[in-house]
Amino acid sequence: MQTEIKQVSGDFSVSAQITEADVHELASLGVKSLICNRPDGEAADQPNVSEIESAAAQAGMALAYLPVVSGNFSGADIADFLAALQRLPTPTHAYCRTGTRSITLWSLAQLRQGKQPQELLATAGKLGYDLSSALGTAATATAHKRPAGADHYDILIVGAGAAGISVASSLLGRVRDLNIAIIDPAEVHYYQPGWTLVGAGIFKQCDTVKTTASLIPDGVHWIKAAVGGFDPEHNRVTLEDSRPVYYERLIVAPGIKLNWHGVEGLVETLGHNGVTSNYRYDLAPYTWKLVQNLRSGRAVFTQPPMPIKCAGAPQKALYLSADHWQRSGVLGNIDIAFFNAGEVLFGVKEYVPALNEYIKRYGANINFGHRLVKIDGDNRRAWFEKNTDNGEKTLVETEFDMIHVCPPQCAPDFVRESALADEAGWVDVDQNTLRHKTFANIWGLGDAMNAPNAKTAAAARMQAPIVANNVLEDMSLVTGVAHYNGYGSC
């Protein structure tokens, strides 16, 4: 095509005025949407936007008409441009007379999402656009936001769990010379999927723990502290001791919060009176002790409302325990009950028939729509809130000799109370790119973000290279935006 296309990012490009013929060439290059920033009638030989829109429609492309006068960018113009970028299918191509208005609007929109002015100036400069006048004031203001000598990293990762450490390794596996830090207060790192097998006498407890220091990749700075809050407007994370840590790009992977206090009486009786959970390192051996010692009586297993990490773990505890009782010849003496807050045995319907066969084999009784709300360990009683057919709720009481509890779960408090969270409290990301929907220099992965996949280590393993690639693509160190396919496994 005659008009030169200038690639600004992986999914956005700009150019001078395009023609109808250019539209079809752009479509052949994979462009899905157009943004016109040039008012009709600026020049006698200028195609009207209606002509471009007609050609775009024939090519199956969307078009947004957002005309602006050169050198006059209002807050509404920037907001409209940002909304169009978020709404339109990508890749997107914007144009005006020379491309300057389009790349300026894009840069100002990125500035609102947390990008650094200096970085935007450099990106535009490489393409032949001088935006120092438009972005100069913002660049000066940003320079004053970070105190001299403050901790500052090119990439800051919150969380040294499976997700955080995996994405750090994936980043360094692609580009060695990166200034990266991980924030996490934990001295030790747990292989949590192994706790289910500790509770079945298969793994040893000590096999599921390593020091955090031994797992953080060489070249990554470890900030051994807890996060107090996020300030994405100023590219800053505040630690619990009020220390600020600044970043160019932030990856949020702090995991999920186990809300033990979400069940009345649970905290007071955990580890005693037959009350256990494989969701805690110190309690998994107690699960195995209870399973070995139970020769008759009632064994209860619970599952809270979704989302939870490892949605199969509550059932795994049941199946492994029942298998031991069967092999020990006592299964017929034990009344097994599974209380599930949900309405189906498992969220992936293809697996349900096979799981039902195990339920039948072990003679377990399934109770759907039952949410554990209270435990009295001393008297070995548990209460469940049950959904009735008319929409009301009622309490159901049951006794137990042992009860395996999966606690209710939610995002960490410092995530739920931040500007990064959606209405449910999870880090609000695009489920394909895992980039934050509001702040362009923030990504999320692992259990704390809101993509609709299962919250498992297997999912984090698949997400880590996606985030690593997309962060590096944003830094112009690799080409091409990667998409997460939703994979998870439990």
Q: Catalytic residues, which ones?
A: 310, 490
Query: 221: which 2 tokens?
Result: 């700075």
**Integer angstrom CA distances of residue 153 from 158, 235, 352, 362:** 12, 10, 47, 54
User: Using CA atoms, how far apart are residues 2 and 171, in angstroms rounded to an integer?
Assistant: 38
For residue 142, how many other CB atoms are within 10 A of its CB?
17
Percentages (nearest 5) of helix, strand, coil residues in the chain: 35, 25, 40
Query: 259: which 2 tokens?
Result: 């809300």
Residue-by-residue DSSP string for 287-355: HHHHHHH-SSEEEEEEE-SSP-BSTTHHHHHHHHHHHHHHHTT-GGGEEEEEEESSSSS-SSGGGHHHH
Query: 103: which 2 tokens?
Result: 């790349």
User: Using CA atoms, how far apart are residues 289 and 307, in angstroms rounded to an integer?
Assistant: 29
User: Using CA atoms, how far apart are residues 199 and 178, in angstroms rounded to an integer?
Assistant: 41
| Gyration radius of the chain over CA positions | 27
What SS3 class is residue 232?
helix
* Contact (Cβ atoms closer than 8 angstroms) between residue 367 and residue 239: no
Please choose, from the candidates 86, 69, 81, the residue with its C-alpha nearest in 3D space to the C-alpha of residue 108: 81
Q: What is the pairing mode between strands 12-15 and 33-36? A: unpaired
* Contact (Cβ atoms closer than 8 angstroms) between residue 85 and residue 56: no
Q: Which residues pair with 402 in a beta bridge?
A: 299
Return the residue matching tokens 């805690």.
280
* Contact (Cβ atoms closer than 8 angstroms) between residue 19 and residue 490: no
Query: 475: which 2 tokens?
Result: 């830094």
Please choose, from the candidates 340, 338, 336, the residue with its C-alpha nearest in 3D space to the C-alpha of residue 294: 336
- Residue 477, exposed/middle/buried by CB under 10 A (0-12, 13-18, 19+)? middle
Q: Which residues contact 239 (CB under 8 A, 6 or more apart)?
A: 183, 223, 225, 226, 227, 228, 245
